């Protein structure tokens, strides 16, 4: 092809691509499909907005794949400038797609980690996501029963995002509200202690695709180990998941009593992240959630 292509594609041993077509849907990286002379296709993400973004995404995909519960694209090559993934040809959803997705997602959440957090920090969208266990390194952390989760979520998720928001000029009101709501948040989260399990971390309707067999495939993760209710809360924030997804999930892994009351706490993390990514349209929603907890 006459135009330049990402040099990482040379690692595949397929020669230069004959086509490099842009595709829509992403707002963080430039996404393209590369086609080679033998007909092979790969998915390429370029133009990371932060160092190590693609390496962290590749590590998250690999961690999800280890659970052997839901398909994720295979990582073919990764570097600071680009990420090359298996190309998955989209197709229509098969009959019973939503229910099977829910059961598979519940099985994903049976893959346990030793503690809350992850082996390294990563990103949720383009926002840094701090995954260090509280007080120790990942390597030093011992296995726990999930009792560290409420404090982890408060510090590594909510307070981290509120500090970012303050730095972007949204004032001290969010911090003041979070300080006042902290005891109530911790009390509610302590009512459902469970061992930490692997989380996609950012599962909304745009972060899964339907593969060539009509089955779900997870993409664009923000992986860490934590409480499964946090993963499910994001699925309910913007829609895109049928009721049978949730009923099938609970057939495999029933949720603890009070999960609906904890739902807005977990959604608050993503609303704060959207505030930091996209601006003040999300400020009022974040304030209302916190005010309701006072």
Q: What is the pLDDT of residues 70-80, one digit of tens each?
A: 999 999 999 99
C-beta of residue 171 within 8 angstroms of C-beta of residue 275: no
CA–CA separation, 156 vs 26, rounded Å? Answer: 26
User: What are the φ/ψ torsions at residue 42 (nearest 5 degrees)?
Assistant: -135, 155
> What pLDDT does residue 29 have?
76
Q: Which of 101-115, 128-142, 252-266 has the lowest mean pLDDT?
A: 128-142
Instruction: Find the Cα–Cα–Cα–Cα dihedral 158, 26, 64, 80, rounded to 10°.
Output: -90
pLDDT for 269 equals 98
CATH number at residue 229: 3.90.1200.10
Tell whether 91 is covered by a domain.
Answer: no
- Single pTM value for the model: 0.95
Residue at a domain's end among 32, 66, 86: 86
SS3 51: coil
Q: What is the pLDDT of residue 1?
A: 55
* Model pLDDT, residue 5: 85
Give the burial class of 287: count Cβ atoms within 10 A of its Cβ; 0-12 exposed, 13-18 middle, 19 or more buried: middle
Query: Do 54 and 111 lie in a common domain?
Result: no
Higher-pLDDT residue of 81, 101:
101
CA separation (Å) from 225 to 63, 67, 71?
Answer: 10, 12, 18
pLDDT at 25: 57
Q: Mean per-residue pLDDT for 104-131? A: 96
In a domain, 92, yes or no: no
pLDDT for position 22? 86
Quickly count: other Cβ atoms within 10 Å of residue 146's Cβ: 21
The answer on 167 and 21 residing in a single domain is no
pLDDT bin (cut points 50, 70, 90) of residue 143 is confident
Nearest 5°: the CA angle 240, 98, 224 is 70
d(CA 147, CA 226): 11
Q: Last residue of a domain, which of 33, 58, 86?
A: 86
Arithmetic mean of pLDDT, 86-102:
97
Q: Please, what sign has the CA dihedral across residues 122, 125, 130, 132?
A: negative
Any domain includes 44: yes
Strands 216-218 and 208-210: antiparallel
Q: Based on the domain organization, do 118 and 193 belong to the same domain?
A: yes
Beta bridge partners of 83: 45, 78
For residues 248-257, average pLDDT:
97
Instruction: Yes or no: say if 147 and 193 are a contact pair by the CB < 8 Å rule.
Output: yes
Determine whether 10 is an active site residue: no
Helix (H, G, I), strand (E, B) or coil at 166: helix
193 pLDDT more than 80: yes
Q: How many domains does the chain have?
A: 2
Q: For residues 131 and 156, what is the distance between their CA atoms, to the nearest angstrom?
A: 7
158 pLDDT higher than 70: yes
The answer to whether position 140 is within a domain reads: yes
- Supply the range of the domain harboring residue 125: 97-292
pLDDT at 192: 93
Compute the distance between CA of residue 5 and CA of residue 39 in angstroms, rounded to an integer: 17
- Residue of 145, 172, 202, 211 marked catalytic: 202
Residue 1 is assigned to a structural domain of this protein: no
Is there a contact between 73 and 161 (Cβ–Cβ < 8 Å)?
A: no
Task: Report how far residue 27's alpha carbon sits from residue 125's, in angstroms, rounded to the nearest whole number.
Answer: 9
What does the angle CA 223 – CA 41 – CA 13 come to, to the nearest 5 degrees?
95
Between CA 35 and CA 17 the distance in angstroms is: 5
Q: Out of 25, 54, 86, pick the residue that ends a domain.
A: 86
Question: 37 and 107 share a domain?
Answer: no
Between CA 62 and CA 83 the distance in angstroms is 13
Rg (CA), the chain: 20
Is the domain of 126 the same as that of 153? yes
| Residues 21 and 50 grouped into a single domain | yes
Of 256, 192, 211, which is closest to residue 101 (Cα–Cα)?
211
Residue 2 lies in a domain: no
Same domain flag for 208 and 154: yes
- Is residue 249 a part of any domain in this protein? yes
Q: How far apart are CA 246 and CA 232, in angstroms?
A: 9
120 and 253 co-located in one domain: yes
Q: How confident is the model at residue 26 (pLDDT cuts 50, 70, 90)?
A: low
pLDDT at 50: 80
Mean pLDDT for 3-15 is 89
- Determine the pLDDT at residue 145: 87
Domain CATH number, residue 51: 3.30.200.20
Position 224 pLDDT exceeds 90: yes
With a cut of 70, say whether residue 52 has pLDDT above it. Answer: yes
63 domain-assigned: yes
Distances (CA, A) of 105 to 77, 108, 143, 192: 26, 5, 23, 19
What mean pLDDT is reported for the chain? 94
**pLDDT (0 to 100) of residue 27:** 60
Same domain membership, residue 115 and residue 77: no
Average pLDDT over residues 1-26: 84
Give the bridge partners for 217, in sequence order. Answer: 71, 209
Together in a domain, 159 and 280: yes
């Amino acid at each position: 092809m006459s135009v330049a292509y990402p040099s990482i594609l040379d690692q595949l041993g397929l020669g230069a691509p004959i086509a490099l077509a842009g595709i829509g849907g992403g707002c963080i990286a430039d996404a393209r499909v590369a086609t080679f002379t033998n007909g092979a296709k790969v998915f390429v993400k370029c133009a990371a907005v932060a160092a190590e973004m693609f390496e962290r995404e590749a590590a998250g995909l690999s961690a999800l794949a280890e659970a052997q519960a839901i398909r994720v694209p295979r990582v073919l090559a990764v570097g600071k400038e680009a990420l090359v993934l298996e190309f998955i040809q989209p197709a229509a959803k098969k009959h019973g797609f939503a229910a099977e997705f829910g059961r598979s997602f519940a099985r994903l959440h049976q893959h346990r980690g030793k503690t809350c957090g992850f082996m390294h920090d990563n990103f949720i969208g383009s926002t840094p996501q701090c995954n260090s266990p509280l007080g120790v390194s990942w390597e030093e952390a011992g296995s726990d029963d999930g009792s560290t989760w409420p404090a982890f979520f408060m510090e590594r998720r909510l307070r981290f995002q509120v500090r970012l928001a303050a730095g972007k000029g949204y004032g001290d009101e969010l911090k003041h509200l979070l300080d006042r709501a902290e005891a109530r948040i911790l009390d509610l989260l302590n009512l459902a202690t469970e061992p930490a399990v692997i989380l996609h971390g950012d599962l909304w309707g745009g972060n899964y695709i339907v593969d060539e067999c009509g089955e779900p495939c997870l993409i664009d993760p923000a992986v860490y180990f934590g409480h499964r209710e946090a993963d499910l809360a994001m699925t309910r924030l913007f829609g895109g998941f049928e009721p049978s997804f949730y009923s099938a999930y609970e057939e495999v892994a029933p949720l603890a009593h009070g999960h609906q009351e904890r739902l807005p706490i977990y959604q608050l993390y993503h609303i704060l992240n959207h505030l930091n990514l996209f601006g003040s349209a999300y400020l009022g929603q974040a304030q209302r959630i916190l005010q309701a907890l006072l």
